[in-house]
Every structure is written in C-alpha cells, then in structure tokens.
Structure 1
Amino acid sequence: MTLSFFDQFSLTSYLGVPLIALALTLPWVLFPAPKTRCSNNRLLTLQAWFIRQFTHQLFLPINKAGHKWALLLASLLIFLITLNLLGILPYTFTPTTQLSMNMGFAVPLWLATVLIGVRHQLTHTLAHFLPVGTPGPLIPILIIIETISLFIRPIALGVRLTANLTAGHLLIQLISTAAFHMFFIMPTVSALTVILLLLLSVLELAVAVIQAYVFVLLVSLYLQESV
C-alpha cells in the first residue's frame, strides 16, 4: 500500500502521548534560561548576543510604547526557529506545518496589535481605511478593500509559514524517494539527485530560519502601525 506524502504532517501519537505536545516542549528544554549574573557559558553568551542584536534591529523603528513586546517577539522567534530546524531532522515531527497551530500564533498577535491601535490611536487606525484625497465614488470600495486586507493579515501569516515549510518537506521527500528508486536503475542519476537533495536540505535550513524571522517581522510591522 502506497502511503500519501502528506502522512508525515498528520498528528500522530506514541504510547498515547501526542508528538506535537512533545515537540512544543523541546525548545524550552534545549535553550538554557538567561541569568542575571556573569557567566562564562558560550551558549548563554551567544544566545544573549543574538537576542540583543535581533531586538535592536526589530524595534529600532518602533516607538518606545511598543518596546514592551520585545520579550514576547524574541521568545517567539527563538521558539519558531527551533521548531522549524527540529523538523528537518529525520523521524521528527514539525508542529509549524500545522495550519491550526500557526493560526493560533497569528490570530492573537494580530488581534492584540489591532486592539492596541484602537485603544491608543483610534483616529490614526481608522484613517488607514480611507486615504487622504480619495474621490467620493471610490470611498465605499476602498473601505471594503482595506477592511478585507486587515482581516486577511492573520491568514497570510499562518498560511505563509505553513506553506513554505510544507513545500520544502514535500520536495525533499519527493527527491529522496526518486533517488532511492533510481539507485539500482541509474546509479549516476541517483548520485546527482543525492547532491541536489543535500543542496535542497541546506536551502531548507535557510528557509526555516527566514520564515520564522519573517513571521515575527510582520507582527512587528503591524505593531508599528498601532503604537
């Protein structure tokens, strides 16, 4: 019986324990907690340097009122990067390929930025629905378009992360399956396919990091419009 290529993305359990719950706890186990005192641990030093550089670049154009989100977004970035990278390892489960989980991240963050904008800058937030100088006949159409674009933001966040990771995993599985079946028929072509598979794996590593960064970056852009 030929299994579907999408079986690797199905929610599975082992000994009654959902693997998605186990995968979600791994980032908190792998990364040590930062400490206030000086430490000669290289991992802690590298982790602190990465968080400091990331938060500095991300919150540079944002007002001081939005700097309260620094800890949340930095933790979210490290969490997503870890889950994406762990999913590339063999016999592992990638929670970020589940649209329901990504939407669970995207919707509350997007809704929080909208509520912050409505609370602190109501006039500025409503001004986004109607640009200055819009002709009268186009006012209803533009309001509808801007409203749709506002509500489609969390969907774009979740679908972008899910689609990019799912496509990469499927492509790796397709190429590896082709290389395995061509090994005895066309060894030369199979060897070239393995080289292509290695290059694609390196690309998938970059995609795992970039997509996590893009997710957090878009949330910060939505926050910038609200503070």
Structure 2
Amino acid sequence: MMASFFDQFMSPTLLGLPLTMLAMLTPMILLLTPTNQWISNRTTTLQSWTLSTITKQLFLPINISGQKWTVTLITLMMFLISINLLGLLPYTFTPTTQLSMNMALAMPLWSATVFLGMHNQPTMSLGHLLPEGTPPLLIPPLIIIETISLFIRPIALGVRLTANLTAGHLLMQLIATAALAMISLLPTVAYLTALVLFLLTLLELAVAMIQAYVFTLLLTLYLQENT
C-alpha cells in the first residue's frame, strides 16, 4: 500500500519511452502571446501585468548588467509555475518532483552566477567568503564554512523545490485515500476529510506558485551578489 503512494513520482512511460519531456513541453501552450492590437483581452492583460510586477520586484535591486538575465529567469519562473500547477490535475505528472530535473535547473544557473562574479569582479566575489573584521584565528574555519555554504546553494535549491512538492502531493494522496476508505463506514468523517483535502488543494495551489517564485528569487539574490 505504501509503495503505491510513491508511484505517482515515477516518470511515466509509453511504449517504453519516457513522457517527462512531453510534460515539460505542455506549459508552452498555456501562456498567451501578446498581440499587436491596441486592446488585448483580459487574460492577456492580466498575464502581462503580473509578469511586469514580478519582474520589477525581482530585478529592481540588481544593476544593469544583472538585468540582462531578466528574460531567462522570468521564463524559468513561469515554466516552473505552469509545471507545478499542471501537476495538481488528475492523471498528470509533475516533473519538478524529480530531484534530477531540479538539480539540472539549479546547477547550471547557480554556476553561471558564480562564474559571472569571478569573471567581472573576482575580488568582491571572493570577499563574500570572509566577512570584514574577522579575527585572524577564525579566518581558516570561516573560509571553509563559507565555501561549503556556497557549494550547498544549488543542492538547497533543488532539494527545497523537490521536497515541498513531493510532500504536498503525498499528503493529498494520503488524505484522499483516507476519505475514500471511510466514506462507507463513517460518512460524516469522510466528508470532513474531503473538506480538509479541498483546503489542502488550495494550499498546494499557492505552494506551487510560491516555490517557483522562491526558486527564481534565490537565483536573483545569487546574481545580485556577483554583479
């Protein structure tokens, strides 16, 4: 029974071919493309306003050179939001519950921010490893700790996204299974459990968007340190 709860996190296959790539390409059809008309529909206007607001909030403290990453990171955030929300639909698969995929997104982007800092301002980038005014005896351990902290960042990015989505999906399935099992024995309790499931689903909708935003926000903070 418990093993079946984790089957939802296995990559689906059809005729022996993995369908993960298909799940990753699906969000492309959900985002609307702005037209050249003076007046757009309400959905396009809302989408454009949301993207503009989020972009200003994320990239306002970043200098001009760092703002060149705007298109890349905003596209990444919308991609993650779409995938996370699609994964809440029945009979769907959420690629972001796979640690391998999240690490494949986190590692190159984090590495790019570090290499950018080392290339443009190596002194300042290395200065983050040692706070100003550190006593001489604490310099070696602090450098080691800050170096470990630096290399843990991409792991934390990938694990945070994976853990939050996996825990939410698993909890939803556990509650749904409990409600279905009790509906014939304890109808009242089953209906209350279904209500909890509904509230949890609303929470997961928020988590799906917040985790994508947090993933992008942390990348912008890393970028801000290196530009």
TM-score of the alignment, normalized to the shorter chain, above 0.5: yes
Is residue 72 of structure 1 aligned with residue 72 of structure 2? yes
Is residue 168 of structure 1 aligned with residue 168 of structure 2? yes
Is residue 97 of structure 1 aligned with residue 114 of structure 2? no
- Report which stretch shifted further, 204-213 or 1-10: 1-10
1:16-50 deviation digits (Å, cap 9, x = unpaired): 44221111111111213334554523332222211
Q: 1:2 to 1:56 in 2, by over 3 A?
A: closer
TM value normalised by structure 1: 0.96
The residue number in structure 1 matching 2:13 is 13
Note the C-alpha offset of 1:85. 0.3
1:76-132 deviation digits (Å, cap 9, x = unpaired): 111000000000001000000000000011001100000111011111011111111
Note the C-alpha offset of 1:15. 3.7
Q: How far apart in 2 are the matches of 1:207 and 1:18? A: 27
- Report which stretch shifted further, 107-116 or 128-137: 128-137
Is residue 87 of structure 1 aligned with residue 87 of structure 2? yes
Q: How far apart in 1 are the matches of 2:92 and 2:175? A: 18
The residue number in structure 2 matching 1:127 is 127
1:38-73 deviation digits (Å, cap 9, x = unpaired): 452333222221111111111111111111011011
- Report which stretch shifted further, 14-23 or 35-44: 35-44
Q: 1:2 to 1:67 in 2, by over 3 A?
A: closer
- Report which stretch shifted further, 15-24 or 148-157: 15-24
The residue number in structure 2 matching 1:213 is 213
Asked if structure 1 preserves the Cα contact closer than 8 Å seen for 2:32 and 2:44, the reply is: yes
TM-align CA RMSD: 1.4
SS at match of 1:152: helix
Q: 1:49 to 1:80 in 2, by over 3 A?
A: same
Identical positions, percent: 62
Is residue 146 of structure 1 aligned with residue 146 of structure 2? yes
Note the C-alpha offset of 1:14. 2.1
Asked if structure 1 preserves the Cα contact closer than 8 Å seen for 2:34 and 2:40, the reply is: no
The residue number in structure 2 matching 1:180 is 180
Q: How far apart in 2 are the matches of 1:72 and 1:39? A: 27
Note the C-alpha offset of 1:160. 0.2
The residue number in structure 2 matching 1:48 is 48
Note the C-alpha offset of 1:4. 2.5
SS at match of 2:26: helix
SS at match of 1:113: helix
TM value normalised by structure 2: 0.96
Q: How far apart in 2 are the matches of 1:14 and 1:85? A: 23
Q: How far apart in 2 are the matches of 1:116 and 1:76? A: 19
Matched residue type, 2:78:
I
Q: How far apart in 2 are the matches of 1:37 and 1:191? A: 49
Unmatched segments (≥5 aa) in structure 1: none
Asked if structure 1 preserves the Cα contact closer than 8 Å seen for 2:165 and 2:208, the reply is: yes
Q: How far apart in 2 are the matches of 1:193 and 1:141? A: 51
Note the C-alpha offset of 1:136. 1.3
Q: 1:151 to 1:2 in 2, by over 3 A?
A: closer
